[in-house]
Structure formats: C-alpha cells, structure tokens
C-alpha cells in the first residue's frame, strides 16, 4: 500500500518537474546579419525552436565605428577664433 502511494507521488513529482523544465529559459547565442528587417536563425538552432514558441530576444549590436563627435570634439578640432581676446601666450608673457 505504501509502495503504491510512493509510486503515485513520484509520478506526480516527475510530471510537475517536466512542466517546470519546459517553462525554464534556454539561451541560444549566435552571430547574424539583419536582412530586410529579419534575423535568420541558423539551421543548427531551428530544431530547438518550434512555430508559435514564446521567445525573449536580446540584440547586441557590434559597432564598428566610433561614436559621432560631440560639440567639445568639434571645438577642439576647430577652435573658434575671436578678435580682441588675448591668446594664452599673450596672457602669460606679461
């Protein structure tokens, strides 16, 4: 009698564990290029994903260029010349 109860309880626990495992996230990582607004999933991962699966997508973009210059960078590269203002050399030479 006790053995049958334990077996029944184990079946319930196994079933619940299967449900929990199915709810857990499984992370896939791959490199891709965006083409026509779509991200192609590599063939080796397609068998892990089913039509209608709910997924969470995080996109990390590789930036190949440096960020645009800000106003400080522009002024450092192209200082504004103002007439009537003393230059550094003129200030410290007196």
pLDDT in tens, 3-44: 888 888 888 888 888 777 766 777 888 989 889 999 988 999
pLDDT tier for residue 61 given thresholds of 50, 70 and 90: confident
Radius of gyration of the chain (CA): 32
Rounded to 5 degrees, φ, ψ at 88 are -55, -45
What residue ranges do the domains of the chain occupy?
A: 2-92
């Amino acid at each position: 009698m006790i053995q049958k109860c334990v077996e029944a309880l184990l079946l319930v626990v196994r079933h619940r564990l299967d449900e929990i495992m199915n709810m857990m996230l499984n992370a896939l990582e791959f490199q891709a290029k965006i083409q026509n607004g779509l991200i192609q999933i590599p063939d080796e991962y397609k068998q892990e994903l089913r039509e209608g699966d709910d997924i969470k997508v995080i996109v990390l973009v590789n930036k190949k260029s440096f960020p645009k210059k800000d106003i400080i960078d522009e002024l450092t590269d192209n200082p504004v010349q103002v007439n009537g203002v003393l230059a550094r050399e003129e200030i410290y030479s007196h």
